[in-house]
Structure 1
């Protein structure tokens, strides 16, 4: 029994290291790595495929609570968090995340995997193309735009189990925000997504007889306990590295990681494990 747990423990620890570095480097909360790795780890443990993505997403959101706090603190120390924008968008991101977590509980695991893969692929393409000068908006829009954009970011991020950077960074750069500031602000958005999202996945998963051991709703506390400390340790290192890289290098790194994850997740949806 213990021998069977060792590979899982090592996988969770390695996931935390990778997730933390990427969270700090790209402002993505680490979920873009954590969700697909957890999906694989849970498959190896024989978790019911019907709820596997739900557990992976819920657990990822719980770890992002800790990752985002660590990453946001590091970016704030670099002066890269736009607190005015956080105050403007924060409430709508929070509400959108809660709505997204409730919606996710009502769909099949394959649907969540498909959403994850398709959206990640689209954003990867956008970030990999030489669109550094593509700025549809001269500034962050006011009015309806300040409600729709953050609500959408919060809702879809919660359904995917990510910290919001996947959408926030791309959206803010198209709104003429500097990439480093977009990454830093996205790290704090991650906390506003992870808290209500985690609560929603816990509540909607309570009492499900298919849940594996150590689960509270759709959140697996073994995963949280092993991944969260490593992400908190590694996120500041990634954040410091981010401020030493060029704007284009950050965009390319962001796009490459998303592309790899998208291909793997879509392969899982159509029946191939990559």
Structure 2
């Protein structure tokens, strides 16, 4: 008995060390970005157009605006398709070899490198469908990349709804679709939204795919059409950090990184608040 308790304590200490190490790395990165990036952040930096000749006289508003449009486009494309696919797989599809292969393929697609999705988007959306390098091509590409995450998280959320809820609904005379619409989806909506926003937050922060399908470092206008090119925070950050010749580029790169982290944090915080309110309404 003493030996088992010693082993348990040993493993708990390992887990605790791993947790503390992870928190330390995350905290170090955040502190480094905050300490070195907040100096350049001001009203002009956030609200004015980019000045390519003198970066200290311009702002990153076009990149913020482009990233927001990209996030909206990804959401419109991936969330409805992903949730509907998860509902079909969980509630309608029969358990057979084909269904299992589809599930395995979806989970494997979640691990495909983002640059591969960028190449797919370049070949299919940009060239084959002749959409050109544009906001819509980037939204479709990142929407495809986000789909596996949304489908998987939504499927797991639907599976977490007790079968007794379905049985009770059907016993009261509801059809299968009415049960899904009135019982299953409302009960699993918090998990669906959480998985969706986490996937979209990650997609908005990707650089490799959007380089190929529509993002540009500098444009003198804001995109007004889905077929326009656009600026985006991750690509803007990449150019400032690696290729820009200005001596102020590093500071502005860290400022851009801080803005990108803040936008991601706001998105995640918003969805966690919504999930908390939805869970408070549950009675199980």
TM range (shorter): 0.3 to 0.5
Larger relative contact order (CA 8 Å, sep ≥ 6): 1
TM-score by length of 1: 0.34
